Amino acid sequence: MIYIGIDPGGSGGMAAIDGSGDLIRAINMPDVEIEILTFLRDMKVGGATAVASLEFVRAMPKQGVTSVFTFGRSYGGLRMALVACDIPFDEPVPRKWQAALSCTSGGDKNVTKRRACELFGSRVKVTHAIADALLLAEYTRRTWDPHGHAKVPEPF
């Protein structure tokens, strides 16, 4: 089973780990849509089963119309790429996945980066761009069973 974490947005990233929590790959969020699709397809090479957590985020106050539209388009593209690759996913809100990993940040990326360093620092140079993606992958590993079913359904 491959567990994928996706921190959407231009400053986010994507990460994948295996069932033991070993890092497979972590990248900054690609600028080109085909690179997102390629990353997700690569996780299913050889018939591997994959599941993902795509962080559920909303527009922030005082964001401009253009940036909200761009972000929404990107978020929808990520959802569609997961669907196209037949990767089941959930959309946990930040407070839920951060609480599960003991790293409630209140918006301070240094908190989640520190936690990602604790869990993955010996295997990858943790940056702000991939920290949340790594943690989301770990959250996915902890909340999905090996058969690709959510252990605890995400309430909305």
With respect to residue 151, please indicate whether it lies within any of the assigned structural domains.
no
With respect to residue 149, please indicate whether it lies within any of the assigned structural domains.
no
Residues sharing a CB contact under 8 Å with residue 38, sequence separation 6 or more, in sequence order: none
With respect to residue 132, please indicate whether it lies within any of the assigned structural domains.
yes
With respect to residue 18, please indicate whether it lies within any of the assigned structural domains.
yes
Tokens coding 73: 């388009």
CATH number (domain holding residue 82) = 3.30.420.10
With respect to residue 156, please indicate whether it lies within any of the assigned structural domains.
no
Q: How far apart are CA 23 and CA 102, in angstroms?
A: 20
With respect to residue 39, please indicate whether it lies within any of the assigned structural domains.
yes
With respect to residue 89, please indicate whether it lies within any of the assigned structural domains.
yes
- Quote the domain boundaries for residue 98: 2-143
DSSP 75: H
* Domain tally, the chain: 1
Per cent of the chain over pLDDT 90 is 73
**Tens-digit pLDDT string for the chain (156 aa):** 999 999 998 899 999 999 999 999 999 999 999 999 999 999 998 888 999 999 998 766 777 777 767 777 789 999 999 999 999 999 999 999 999 999 999 989 999 999 999 999 898 999 999 999 999 999 999 998 777 777 754 443
With respect to residue 124, please indicate whether it lies within any of the assigned structural domains.
yes
Q: How far apart are CA 33 and CA 16, in angstroms?
A: 18
